Structure 1
């Protein structure tokens, strides 16, 4: 089905309201999901949005939660999501976070007790669009084996880096610490397709290409021990600093009544205080890497896809639209 971004946004917002969200939460999670879908990141777009709706209905997301935000130091914002969505607390202070980074050079947002964050580049990219360099880290329920382990001890523990470039879209790197995202494993299982070797282990610790067996076993980190070490680093930033659940202690995000209680860490840096010509130098360097050396620049294709989606709309499977629309009908009733 073809939907304009406005139609898709309205549908998602109404669906969240129907599932029990406040208007603020509904707008926050709908905006993030539509942004992911528009840039072509469908794994955490509208298909994943159904997880949010089901979590709202089951109580895994407290749709009425009011994040408690404090400021223990001038450049630090602490948020307790209180079992709500990860996006709401960030949305409340995003502008202040950017202003603080411009004033002091750096600013930190640290959050605990939230549902999983979806596309992490959504957070860092918003800061880069305001001229800031940003780094983000988040965790979730354990699905990834650690270094030397065959059992899941970390989430896919994504990290994201974004920075502005003059006269163009920001550079946005958004990747998991695992060889692939968990939602890709789940999609392969739903489609009955095998997964590549090196992505996962079964529950006996043996390598597998069966996504159903992988979901009962453990995902593998990219780059072996080095990737697993990065997953641990992300865990410390996202869960250790914030007081959120360690991945081992986080309830599963698609079952049961409990919120996974995950963490989110965002660092914002004002580059102009370090180098007033930063954005122009980034533009020139990215252009050189791409044109002379054939380097793929993350973020450019997403920006192009978003522009096309704004003009032409998005194509979504009928099944996904109908499932989201079912929640929206509940709001009307």
Structure 2
């Protein structure tokens, strides 16, 4: 542990995060839900969407971009469908409210879908999918937010980073978890580089005039680039249709900023849960054996393994948090 960090237990980190949310204007249920999600990201070794990202939520609560006492309204338009209006609040609370029934419905019917609109941005998208994988379900999740990413052939932001997440339970290890943005990098990485005065790699972004740039401050005012060119941009469009089109959320072009102003970005979230054992009762064992084979015999990186190791380490030794972040949360 360095002089610039402090080690906290997971429970203490959750309590600190919840207290900070409540002081910033969140109701108890929203504060508890958000605290659990950001600390889970920290536990999984994702500090950029952990407690550091919670500061964005605290700023948004104070400014009104998050309605701290919003009560999500969850309806059932069909037996397998859960439709949630987050009421301008956080993305996590409505999912928490529906979670048990969502999982149970997937087990009974084979598939269940959670569609949410009118929420703040959701942070670590993999958190939603991984929770279902922990329940033995295969999950796919998609989300959008304010426009940050240029579309295929364009130079102006039209999509958010529009990530897609996938999780599946495996025997003998943590769930397979793929969580990746449609952009070449996450926006938080560009924003952090701008704050630190660091250059960014070529191919990450364009400036406001549509020119390629390695200046992070210029990139923040311009547009991110999709990974893989047109193919990544097509995935961003697919996610936009899933997360904003199907849910009734704001299109990214119409979403207010998540870092300024007093309006909610009105983001969308779509999560699909599948019961694999109705198709293959031995699914978890077969997937575990296949992932082990890919790793041991072919040197394939298995997404989710590192996050699983980080979780085990955090459960043993707690979390090492930067003192600057702790000061912001305690203040």
Q: TM-score, normalised by structure 1?
A: 0.97
Matched, 1:55 2:60: yes
Q: Distance in 2 between matches of 1:126 and 1:10?
A: 21
For residues 86 and 6 of structure 1, the distance between their equivalents in structure 2, rounded to whole angstroms, comes to 22
Match of 2:49 in 1: 44
Asked if 1:297 is matched to 2:302, the reply is yes
Q: CA RMSD in A?
A: 0.6
Write the deviation string for residues 151-175 of structure 1: whole angstroms up to 9, x where unpaired: 0000000110000001321000000
Q: Out of 239, 248, 252, which is 1:247 matched to?
A: 252
1:31 matched to 2:31? The reply is no
How far apart are residue 191 of structure 1 and its match?
1.6
- How far apart in 1 are the matches of 2:11 and 2:75? 34
Which sections of structure 2, spanning at least 5 residues, go unmatched? 1-5
CA distance in 2, matches of 1:291, 1:222: 28
Q: State the secondary structure of the residue aligned to 2:277.
A: helix
The aligned counterpart of 1:182 is: 187
In the alignment, the residues of structure 2 paired with residue 238 and residue 20 of structure 1 have an alpha-carbon distance, to the nearest angstrom, of: 27
2:197 to 168, 177, 192: 192
* Cα drift, residue 6 of structure 1: 1.2
Cα distance in 2 for partners of 1:102, 1:2 equals 39
Aligned to 1:75: 80
CA distance in structure 2 between the aligned counterparts of 1:272 and 1:58, rounded to whole angstroms? 46
Q: Deviations over 1:187-228 (max 9, x none)?
A: 111121111111000011110011100000000000000000
Partners in 2 of 1:157 and 1:300 — Cα distance?
23
Match of 1:263 in 2: 268
Asked if residue 148 in structure 1 is aligned to residue 153 in structure 2, the reply is: yes
1:306 aligns with 2:316: no
Residue 102 of structure 2 is matched in structure 1 by: 97
Matched residue count: 326
Mapped pair 1:229 → 2:243: no
Equivalent residue for 1:160, pick from 151, 161, 165? 165
Secondary structure (helix, strand or coil) at the match of 1:101 reads: helix
Q: Deviations over 1:87-143 (max 9, x none)?
A: 000000111101000100000000000000000000000000111000000000000
Selected match of 1:116 from 113, 121, 127: 121
Partner of 1:15: 20
Q: Deviations over 1:296-331 (max 9, x none)?
A: 1111110111111111111111111000101xxxxx
Choose which of 222, 225, 248 in structure 2 pairs with 1:220: 225
| 1-structure distance, mates of 2:11, 2:95 | 23
Alignment partners' CA distance in 2, 1:208 and 1:3: 39
Aligned residue for 2:3? none
- Secondary structure at 2:67's aligned position in 1? coil
**1:106 and 2:114 correspond:** no
Alpha-carbon separation, structure 1, partners of 2:21 and 2:123: 16
Name the structure 2 match of 1:330.
none
In 1, Cα distance between the equivalents of 2:106 and 2:11?
Answer: 32
Runs in 1 of length 4+ with deviation above 4 angstroms?
Answer: none
Structure 1 gaps, min length 5: 327-333
Aligned to 2:130: 125
